[in-house]
Amino acid sequence: MVETIADIAPAAIDRPRVRWTPATRLAFRFCFLYFGLYVVTTQMLNGMVVVPNWGFPPLETLPPLKNVIQWTALHVFRVTQPLVITGSGSGDKTANWIAAFCLVVLAGLATIVWSALDHREAHPSLDRWFRLFMRFAVATTMLGYGMVKAFPLQMPYPPLTRLLEPFGNFSPMGVLWYSVGASPGWERFAGSMEIAAAVLLFVPRLSLLGAMVCFADAVQIFTLNMTYDVPVKLFSFHLIAMAIFLMAPEIPRFTRALLTRVPGGTLLVAAQVVLAAYYIGNEVYQANRSWHTFGGGAPKPALYGIWNVDRMFIGGVERSPLVTDYDRWRRVVIQNATTVYFQRMDETLAAYPAKFDDKTNTIALTKGADKNWKATLAVQRSDATHLSLSGAMDGHSIEMRTSLVDRAKFLLVSRGFSWVQEFPFNR
């Protein structure tokens, strides 16, 4: 008996033909080219190497891509200074941004050529294999990042020198690094979530959940990088985009489920929406009022600032700035309209409730639970950066001549945000 093709593989004949929209085809082709190039030319490829202690430099640091990056930097972006290619530790170097630009252009041009020459309506087989490749590329990256947090290595516990350093001397990245490092439990938890994303991505039936966990992890990482000036912004953004790519086939189904499965009738739904709008609106109103009343948006007092006590007289006798003199103030800190802080020479702080009177140029002080303790200081301001305070406290006449500290001298205040960093600024 002669078997026909239908007898051998009827499923292949009956299988419905896969058709993608033109937009889907273009999006897949671009993602295939761009993400594929990004993985094989960056640190992500090394993470996929299965041989222990074996690897190679990212291809973006080697010819010919290195030469393309240097040519583009000079002739397109007019960058004349030598590019930092390796040995930096920063993922937001000029070379990294230009490399991403080159890959976008290359992938875009290749997508146009591919679409002009290939008229197939879909690429289901290529899509399956590429998603497998991307799952492992993202998973191995998340696994590496997770492990150096699960065993607190990425953000170490603050060393002894950091414990002695003033907070204002930290850079934003330093604040994040050593805040996380000071809480190994939190660092381990963050690492475990990145490891969870990796493990789920490795398992085919759980890979969608893995992509969702990875997306949440990557959004948090990217947000921290953006708000604490950590030079891994470009790379963490790619992790978000790759997670979205892995989730993309299921996004329409999730959207339909969210929009169609609404319990109750129209009136009940409308009532819920109105009630939710009230709750949200009220919370926004209360938070905004609090922000402008006593939060960061509240008006600052006229004497706002940190004032160094250059000279201090107690009972008419000048007190030298000795660290052993407990009664001699080192600084006066005025940051709101209700409290004055005096910093002693040993750097401890004393807080006094205060009332400022701009008409009489005085500050009335009290001392916590001691209802009978009172002091009034006269204010004389010779210019914007010099202030004198005089009066009586604890039965002694006092006089302080102070000078304003420039807040911009604090690294934490002045550092700001940088899209491009040739080297990490972790101080």
Let me know whether 240 and 111 are in one domain.
Answer: yes
Is residue 47 assigned to a domain?
Answer: yes
pLDDT of residue 374: 92
Is residue 143 assigned to a domain?
Answer: yes
In this structure, what CATH number is given to the domain that contains residue 393? Answer: 2.40.128.20
In this prediction, residue 361 has a pLDDT band, given cuts at 50, 70 and 90, of: very high
Is residue 11 assigned to a domain?
Answer: no
Task: Find the domain containing 43 and state its range.
Answer: 17-257
pLDDT of residue 266: 83
In this prediction, residue 16 has a pLDDT band, given cuts at 50, 70 and 90, of: low
In this prediction, residue 179 has a pLDDT band, given cuts at 50, 70 and 90, of: very high
Residue 247 in this model has a pLDDT that exceeds 80: yes
pLDDT of residue 264: 64
Number of domains in the chain: 2
Let me know whether 57 and 183 are in one domain.
Answer: yes
Let me know whether 235 and 374 are in one domain.
Answer: no
In this prediction, residue 263 has a pLDDT band, given cuts at 50, 70 and 90, of: low
Between 85 and 109, residue with greater pLDDT = 109
In this prediction, residue 89 has a pLDDT band, given cuts at 50, 70 and 90, of: confident
Q: What is the pLDDT of residues 137-173, one digit of tens each?
A: 999 999 999 999 999 999 999 999 999 999 999 999 9
Is residue 3 assigned to a domain?
Answer: no
3-state secondary structure string across the chain: CCCCHHHHCHHHHHCCCCCCCHHHHHHHHHHHHHHHHHHHHCCHHHHCCCCCCCCCCCHHHCCCHHHHHHHHHHHCCCCCCCCCCCCCCCCCCHHHHHHHHHHHHHHHHHHHHHHHHCCCCCCHHHHHHHHHHHHHHHHHHHHHHHHHHHCCCCCCCCCHHHHHCCHHHCCHHHHHHHHHHCCHHHHHHHHHHHHHHHHHHHCHHHHHHHHHHHHHHHHHHHHHHHHCCCCCHHHHHHHHHHHHHHHHHHHHHHHHHHHHCCCCCHHHHHHHHHHHHHHHHHHHHHHHHHHHHCCCCCCCCCCCEEEEEEEEEECCEECCCCCCCCCCEEEEEECCCCEEEEEECCCCEEEEEEEEECCCCEEEEEECCEEEEEEEEEEEEEECCEEEEEEEECCEEEEEEEEECCHHHCHHHHCCCCCCCCCCCCC
Q: Quote the percentage of the chain above a pLDDT of 90.
A: 77
Residue 413 in this model has a pLDDT that exceeds 60: yes
pLDDT of residue 8: 41
Is residue 311 assigned to a domain?
Answer: yes
Is residue 288 assigned to a domain?
Answer: no
Let me know whether 227 and 365 are in one domain.
Answer: no
Residue 96 in this model has a pLDDT that exceeds 90: yes
Average pLDDT over every residue of 302-308: 94
Q: What is the pLDDT of residues 51-67, one digit of tens each?
A: 666 777 888 888 999 99
Is residue 223 assigned to a domain?
Answer: yes
Residue 231 in this model has a pLDDT that exceeds 80: yes
**Average model confidence (pLDDT) for the chain?**
91
Let me know whether 245 and 189 are in one domain.
Answer: yes
Is residue 330 assigned to a domain?
Answer: yes
In this prediction, residue 411 has a pLDDT band, given cuts at 50, 70 and 90, of: very high
Let me know whether 354 and 236 are in one domain.
Answer: no
Residue 427 in this model has a pLDDT that exceeds 50: yes
pLDDT of residue 58: 84
pLDDT of residue 13: 47
Residue 78 in this model has a pLDDT that exceeds 60: yes
pLDDT of residue 261: 62
Average pLDDT over every residue of 175-204: 96
Let me know whether 321 and 210 are in one domain.
Answer: no
Let me know whether 221 and 370 are in one domain.
Answer: no
